[in-house]
Chain A
């Protein structure tokens, strides 16, 4: 009887989930399988020839330009992730521990608003702020602090990191906030009662319990930033391409879809491996959930 009802429930659940699942299969899984297939085929003029080859992967893993861009993308997104998560943690901590419960959603709303406004315009405004005739330079020259505009603040990796850290801020704050909210406050009191100092309680109780949120934030920021296309294009002035820009060039400008596909698949693989290693290194924090 119980089994029969479970079967019925399972059937109903599967029927209900099938429209969105089939949509995701058609629009997401099928295209990704297609580029996976393309990455093993040969590029012909305006077409893809159905000849199996490893050449695209040999190119993707040995070409010095690809390697440089790939390493740069990894370094930039690792740096962005570090900066974003480190800057976001105190904010999440403040909202979770210091703000009165009824004001919390107002704070979260304030934090998420900038994220919902035009991404392109926000990125461009950082160019306006950091540019040759930008806000910082014109203010500093206007005040007589510098004679010549500073040129080292735009069109370099630092400006890309700053812009991306700004763009992905809420993605880091929200998961950490949720993890902090879940912490049983009596555990902190227990820590204090047992003679730990405030700092030690934070280090030995709060931080380990907040780690699942920190880990989630790290992944949520790291994965999309590595594939960011707009910021290197606008802030980097097109001179500091990241892997997304390279994929686009291979796929469209050079019309070499197998090579572009191999780049895309390799990038996904590298991101997946990096994330798995990261999760493995932090496995002890993920196990302690109550």
Chain B
């Protein structure tokens, strides 16, 4: 036993170092956000909140935030609704061409985003559609859908079929059984799908960059500011807020996913994907 533990320790050290590598950029973020120096470099100068004040007072940033929130809320609701259909179909029914159809719907997960963005842009421009946050919502819904389906399929897949059948036997219709039995049971999955889609959309850059026209979103605003050294400390402050926010959202999503698993008696294994 002790020999085994010794063998594991080398791997353990490696894994911890690897996690440090993964977290290195995120650890640096707050350091520079609260640093009073205007240049992003060591040594740090002093503690300040002025970058956060600057961030709060920035009107373009507020507009970008508002746009991003509108897009993320719309896209996450649309992707989750479409995802519910797909997850239900793939976990409960057998139909011809199932693997092909599901594979095709999941394709945006692996397809380079630039291809999706460019082809969509060409079509929209060809049809004479005015680029706006609406076109970004269309694109983001497509990108979020596979992730929503992945999360929702776990929720629907672990569902005990006999619970629904019991509801039918007790005289519920198909729809009322779905609403009264299935929906409450998969609710945690739906909430974590909404949270994950929201996080993805909020952070998505390529599609927003090409499909938003002249409307800023948070990532495109950040990208436009990265060229100006003077703007960087404020972006660091913004990044700190965003990172804190996504960690909170993810922790919430994970909490709901586990609660959902606990409710249907599944083992708390697996992750987001």
Contacts and interface: CB of A to CB of B under 8 A. Distances in A.
B110 A114 contact: no
B86 A128 contact: no
B271 A112 contact: yes
A17 B86 contact: yes
Contacts of B145: 20, 23-24
Contacts of B113: 224, 227, 229
A129 B25 contact: yes
B170 interface: no
Nearest to B97: A14
B8 interface: yes
A68 interface: no
A30 interface: yes
A11 B93 CA distance: 9
A9 B83 CA distance: 19
Interface string B90-126: 1011111010011011011011111110111111001
Contacts, number: 251
B28 A135 contact: yes
Interface string A107-132: 01111111011111110111011000
| Chain B: interface size category | 35 or more
Interface of B: prevailing SS: helix
A133 B229 CA distance: 12
8 contacts: A13-B92, A32-B119, A34-B123, A90-B14, A119-B205, A120-B203, A121-B235, A129-B25
Given A105-B271, A129-B28, 9 more contacts: A16-B85, A27-B139, A34-B123, A105-B268, A108-B270, A118-B246, A138-B41, A142-B43, A229-B114
Interface of A: 6, 9-14, 16-21, 23-24, 27-32, 34-35, 38, 48, 87, 90-91, 93-95, 98, 101-102, 104-105, 108-114, 116-122, 124-126, 128-129, 133-135, 138-139, 142, 166, 169, 174, 181, 219-220, 223-224, 226-230, 234, 244, 247-248, 251-252, 257, 260-261, 264, 267-268, 271
